[in-house]
C-alpha cells in the first residue's frame, strides 16, 4: 500500500508525459475527466440531432395539411426525437457531469471503476448508431413513440424494432454500469472527514439517482425483451388473443418510466443547489431537509407510475390511489423550491450566466410542476391526457428544467474544465434568446392542449392553426439559439478566453475549487482533509 502511495506521488508527471495522444487517448482513456468530456460532447451532439428532428416536426406542424413529410415519417421523427433526447442528450449529460465533478467534489483521485467507466461510455455511440441507422431500413425506423406501446410496437411495427430493442439494451447496460460506478465511488472514495451529511447536494442527488437507475433499468430491459419476443418469437405477453394484456406493457413501461423522469431531474436539483448559494453568497438553506426531500421524491417515484395511464380503464380504487400519491410528490418538491428561494433571500446576489439559468430553472420548473399537479387530478386528466397540455408540461420540466440546469452546470464549471472563462456576452445572449424563445415554443402548447389538440398528430383541425404557427416559430428560434451555446463551448474547448483562476466565482464553496483551473489530469492523489 505504501509503495502505491509513493508511486502515485510522482505518477502525476509520469502520466502527463506518457498520456497517449490523438484518437487512442479518447478510445482507451480511463480518466474520469476525459470520460466526462466525452459524455458531455456526445450528449451535445445528440441534443443537436434530437433537436433537428424537432425542427422537422415543427416545420410540418407550421400549418395544417401535409406539406413536407408523410405521417409515417412524422411518427418516426416524434419517436426518435424522444428517444434521442431522453437517452442520448439528457441522461449522458448528467453522467458526464457526474464523471467530471463527483471525484473532484468528494476529493477522490478518479472514479472507482475506471475501466468499466470507459466501457459504459463507448457502448453508447454504438447504441445510437444502431438506433439511428434503423431509420434507413425498409419500413423505416421505430414509429411508435418513445413509449413504444404494444401492440403498435409488436404486431404492427416495422422489422427495425429488433434494432430498437437491441440499442435500448445497450443504453440500459451503459446506464447501469455508470450508476454502479457512481455508487461505488461515493460510498468508498470520499476524502477523510467527508461524512454523508457533508457531501455537496450534487453528490447526494446523484447517489440517489444512481440507485433509481439500478432499480428501474432492468425493468426497461425486461419490457423491451418482451416486445422482442412478442414480435418475433410468437409470445403473447401483450396480446389478449394469447392470454396477455396490452395494458400490462404500460404498467411495466411506466414502472420504469416514472422513476426515469426523476432520474432526469434529481441531478438538476443538485446543480441548482450548488449554483444558487454561490451567487447568493449564502449557504444553502435547509441542507438536511433538501437531502430528505430528494430521498422522498425518489421513494414516491415508485408509487405514481399509473398516473400516466388514467384513461386505460383501471379500477376506481387504483385511480384514487395514484392520484393521491401523485399529489403527494408536490410536497417534497415544494420544499426544494422554498429552500432555494430562502437561500436567495437576504443574500448578496450577482447574476452571472449560471445564476441566470438557475433562476430561470426555478421559475419555469415550478410552472412545469404546477401543471403536473393539474395533470395528477384524475377527472380533469381525462381531458388533458395525450393532448398538447401534457407536451407543454413535460417540456417545461425537461427542457427548462433538466436542460437549463445542464446549461447552468456547463457555464458554472467550464472554467474548471477548460481553464478559461467563457465569453460572458455570448453566454448572456444565449440565455436571453433561449429564455424568450423557449416560452414562445412551449407556453402556447398549454392552450392548444386545453383546446383539445391530441399529441403525435402530423396534421390538425383549423382551429389550432394560429397557435401552432407561433409554436413553430418559437421552436425555430430556440433551435437557433443553441448554436450560440455551441460557439461559447467550442471557444472554451479551444482555450480562447481569459485564463480562469482556481476559484472563478467569489461565493463558491467545495473541493473542486481548491484545484487549479484547468483541473490537472490527476487530482487528489493524496486525499484532502475535510473538516
Instruction: Report in angstroms how near the CB of residue 223 gets to other proteins at its nearest.
Output: 16
Among 11, 48, 137, 191, binds other proteins (CB under 8 A): 137
Cα–Cα dist 409/276, whole Å: 11
Residue 347, Cβ density class (10 Å: 0-12 exposed, 13-18 middle, ≥19 buried): middle
Query: Position of cell 383546446?
Result: 451
Kindly identify the residues of this chain, within the stretch 297-326, that bind other proteins according to CB under 8 A.
311-313, 316, 319-320, 323-324
- The yes-or-no answer on residue 522 being catalytic is no
- Which of 455, 456, 457, 525 does the annotation list as catalytic? 455
**Given 32, 58, 81, 385, the catalytic residue:** 81
- The footprint of other proteins on residues 345-384 (CB under 8 A) is 345-351, 359, 362-363, 366-367, 370-371, 373-374, 377-380, 382-383
With beta carbons less than 8 A apart as the criterion, state whether 240 and 265 touch.
no
- Catalytic residue status for 529: no
Catalytic residue among 58, 258, 282, 393: 258
Beta carbon of residue 103, minimum distance to other proteins (angstroms, whole number): 26
User: Under the criterion CB under 8 A, does residue 248 sit at the interface with other proteins?
Assistant: no
387: which strand partners? 454
Footprint (CB under 8 A) of other proteins, residues 437-476: 447, 450-452, 454-463, 465-467
Q: Is 68 in the site for other proteins (CB under 8 A)?
A: yes
Q: Can you name the residues that pair with 420 across neighbouring β-strands?
A: 499
C-alpha to C-alpha distance for 13 and 34, rounded to whole angstroms:
17
Binding to other proteins, residues 177-196 (CB under 8 A): none
Distances in whole angstroms, Cα of residue 344 to Cα of each of 142, 280, 284, 351, 508 = 45, 6, 9, 12, 14
Nearer to other proteins, 11 or 373 (CB): 373
Alpha helices in 61-113 (DSSP H): 71-83, 91-106
Kindly give, in sequence order, each residue whose CB lies less than 8 Å from that of residue 227, ignoring residues fewer than 6 positions away: 148, 150, 153, 154, 161, 165, 238, 249
Backbone angles phi, psi at 27, to 5 degrees: -70, -40
In the bound state with other proteins, the residue whose beta carbon lies nearer, of 44 and 144, is 144
Within residues 198-237, the interface with other proteins by CB under 8 A covers none
Count of residues in contact with other proteins, rule CB under 8 A: 108
Residue 393 among the catalytic residues: no
Q: How many CB atoms are located within 10 Å of the residue 475 CB?
A: 23
Q: Is 282 one of the binding residues for other proteins (CB under 8 A)?
A: yes
Contact pick of 8, 30, 289, 439 for other proteins (by CB under 8 A): 289
Query: In the bound complex, what is the minimum distance in angstroms from residue 189's beta carbon to other proteins?
Result: 27
Confirm or reject binding of residue 503 to other proteins (CB under 8 A).
no
Q: Which one of the spans 150-158, 192-200, 219-227, 427-435 is the region binding other proteins (CB under 8 A)? A: 150-158
Say whether 499 sits in a helix, a strand or coil. Answer: strand
Cβ closest to other proteins, residue 215 vs residue 450: 450
Given a contact cutoff of 8 angstroms between Cβ atoms, the answer to whether 237 and 67 are in contact is no
| Distance between CA atoms of residues 225 and 165, nearest Å | 7
**What SS3 state is found at 454?**
strand
Q: Which residues are catalytic?
A: 81, 110, 146, 174-175, 258, 260, 262, 273, 307-308, 333, 336, 455
Amino acid at each position: 500500500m505504501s509503495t502505491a502511495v509513493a508511486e502515485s506521488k510522482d505518477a502525476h508527471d509520469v502520466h502527463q508525459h506518457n498520456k497517449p495522444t490523438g484518437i487512442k487517448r479518447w478510445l482507451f482513456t480511463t480518466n474520469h475527466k476525459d470520460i466526462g468530456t466525452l459524455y458531455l460532447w456526445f450528449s451535445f451532439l445528440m441534443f443537436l440531432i434530437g433537436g433537428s428532428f424537432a425542427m422537422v416536426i415543427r416545420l410540418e406542424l407550421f400549418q395544417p395539411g401535409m406539406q413536407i413529410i408523410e405521417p409515417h415519417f412524422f411518427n418516426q421523427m416524434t419517436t426518435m426525437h424522444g428517444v434521442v433526447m431522453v437517452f442520448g442528450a439528457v441522461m449522458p449529460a448528467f453522467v458526464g457531469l457526474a464523471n467530471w465533478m463527483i471525484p473532484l467534489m468528494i476529493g477522490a483521485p478518479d472514479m472507482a471503476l475506471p475501466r468499466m467507466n470507459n466501457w459504459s461510455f463507448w457502448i453508447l455511440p454504438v447504441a445510437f448508431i444502431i438506433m439511428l441507422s434503423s431509420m434507413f431500413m425498409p419500413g423505416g425506423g421505430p414509429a411508435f413513440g418513445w413509449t413504444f406501446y404494444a401492440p403498435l410496437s409488436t404486431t404492427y411495427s416495422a422489422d427495425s424494432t429488433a434494432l430498437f430493442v437491441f440499442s435500448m439494451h445497450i443504453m440500459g447496460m451503459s446506464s447501469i454500469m455508470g450508476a454502479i460506478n457512481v455508487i461505488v465511488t461515493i460510498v468508498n472514495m470520499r476524502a477523510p472527514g467527508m461524512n454523508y451529511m457533508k457531501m455537496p447536494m450534487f453528490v447526494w442527488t446523484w447517489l440517489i439517482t444512481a440507485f433509481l437507475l439500478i432499480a428501474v433499468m432492468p425493468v426497461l430491459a425486461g419490457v423491451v425483451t418482451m416486445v422482442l419476443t412478442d414480435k418475433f418469437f410468437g409470445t403473447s405477453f401483450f396480446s389478449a388473443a394469447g392470454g396477455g394484456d396490452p395494458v400490462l406493457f404500460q404498467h411495466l413501461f411506466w414502472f420504469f418510466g416514472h422513476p426515469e423522469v426523476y432520474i432526469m431531474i434529481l441531478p438538476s436539483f443538485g446543480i441548482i443547489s450548488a449554483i444558487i448559494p454561490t451567487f447568493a453568497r449564502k449557504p444553502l438553506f435547509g441542507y438536511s431537509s433538501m437531502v430528505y426531500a430528494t430521498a422522498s421524491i425518489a421513494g414516491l417515484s415508485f408509487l405514481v407510475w399509473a398516473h400516466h395511464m388514467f384513461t386505460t380503464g383501471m379500477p376506481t380504487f387504483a385511480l384514487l390511489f395514484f392520484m393521491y400519491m401523485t399529489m403527494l410528490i408536490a410536497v417534497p418538491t415544494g420544499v426544494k423550491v422554498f429552500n432555494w428561494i430562502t437561500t436567495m433571500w437576504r443574500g448578496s446576489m450577482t447574476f452571472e450566466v449560471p445564476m441566470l439559468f438557475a433562476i430561470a430553472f426555478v421559475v419555469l420548473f415550478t410552472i412545469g410542476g404546477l401543471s403536473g399537479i393539474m395533470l395528477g387530478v384524475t377527472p380533469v386528466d381525462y381531458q388533458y391526457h395525450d393532448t398538447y397540455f401534457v407536451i407543454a408540461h413535460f417540456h417545461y420540466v425537461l427542457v427548462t428544467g433538466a436542460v437549463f440546469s445542464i446549461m447552468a452546470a456547463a457555464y458554472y464549471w467550464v472554467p474548471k474544465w477548460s481553464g478559461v472563462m467563457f465569453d460572458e456576452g455570448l453566454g448572456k445572449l444565449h440565455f436571453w434568446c433561449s429564455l424568450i424563445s423557449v416560452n414562445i415554443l412551449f407556453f402556447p402548447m398549454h392552450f392548444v392542449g386545453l383546446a383539445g389538440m391530441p399529441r403525435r398528430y402530423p396534421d390538425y383541425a383549423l382551429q389550432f392553426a394560429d397557435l401552432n404557427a407561433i409554436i413553430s416559430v418559437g421552436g425555430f428560434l430556440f433551435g437557433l439559439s443553441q448554436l450560440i451555446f455551441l460557439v461559447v463551448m467550442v471557444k472554451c474547448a479551444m482555450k480562447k478566453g481569459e485564463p480562469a483562476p482556481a476559484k472563478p466565482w467569489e461565493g463558491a464553496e467545495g473541493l473542486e475549487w481548491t484545484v487549479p483551473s484547468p483541473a490537472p489530469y490527476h487530482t487528489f492523489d493524496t486525499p484532502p482533509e475535510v473538516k
